Structure 1
């Protein structure tokens, strides 16, 4: 069951949205289309401050912006793994992976699998897949 805001009234600062604003937008993404967001907005919101919110949104099959949230989780995973967790807390990230494996649906289990794959095979990183949405669009498991 998802918790949805009745309406979204905009971001105080779209470059640095609060978790509540991001959540409200995710359930009403038509109110501000992605095409009108600041350039590289996906990269801007894919940090530590919003990762828990993004994870919750990606775990909710009823969330209209679920695929966007999942895309941001792929960015977060790649950033953490490729920087050997200098960019993101390692323990926090792997807890999310474990939650996705245990409680997630196929989309989330695929994200968890691919995160583990990248950890084990960092040279297999492809920017287009991890940071431009390729793995979300294809929903494929890396092998």
Structure 2
């Protein structure tokens, strides 16, 4: 039995999961329900170390935790833009946005559009939309 064939058994440290653990959980999210995770877990994992993994998960239409990954992308984008890229590199966010525009489906295209809109007009930031999942639950293009 390979490592991929075995069931996900949890995080060694849920506050600081590895990319492999996050990916494994994302394909078996019921193995460790979100409500059992540390408070603000979405904010904790939405950093530079895991953003590539989260992006890949959000791009995968078959990923059971895709909405969670997309939610984390909104947090990451808002955090970078609102801190004038002190929190996250501008270049990394730009590359993710460009890749979402080129290869993503409608949900990813909306995320890319909204990220560009927030960068152009920071007053569009609304905590509920960007950090509490509003733009994932009710997908819409900001104007």
Tell me the C-alpha RMSD between the 2 structures: 0.9
Distance 1:110 1:132 in 2: 17
Distance 2:19 2:56 in 1: 11
Check if 1:23 corresponds to 2:19.
Answer: no
Distance 2:73 2:92 in 1: 13
Structure-2 change in CA distance of 1:106 and 1:13 (3 Å): same
Q: Report deviation, 1:72.
A: 0.2
Q: Report deviation, 1:6.
A: 4.5
SS of the equivalent of 1:49 reads helix
Q: Report deviation, 1:124.
A: 1.4
Q: TM-score with structure 1 length normalisation?
A: 0.96
Instruction: Count how many residue pairs are aligned between Structure 1 and Structure 2.
Output: 140
Q: TM-score with structure 2 length normalisation?
A: 0.96
- 2:41 paired residue number: 41
Q: Report deviation, 1:135.
A: 0.1
Distance 2:57 2:64 in 1: 9
- 1:93 paired residue number: 93
Gaps of 5+ in 1: none
Kept in 2, the 8 Å contact 1:5–1:27? The answer is: no
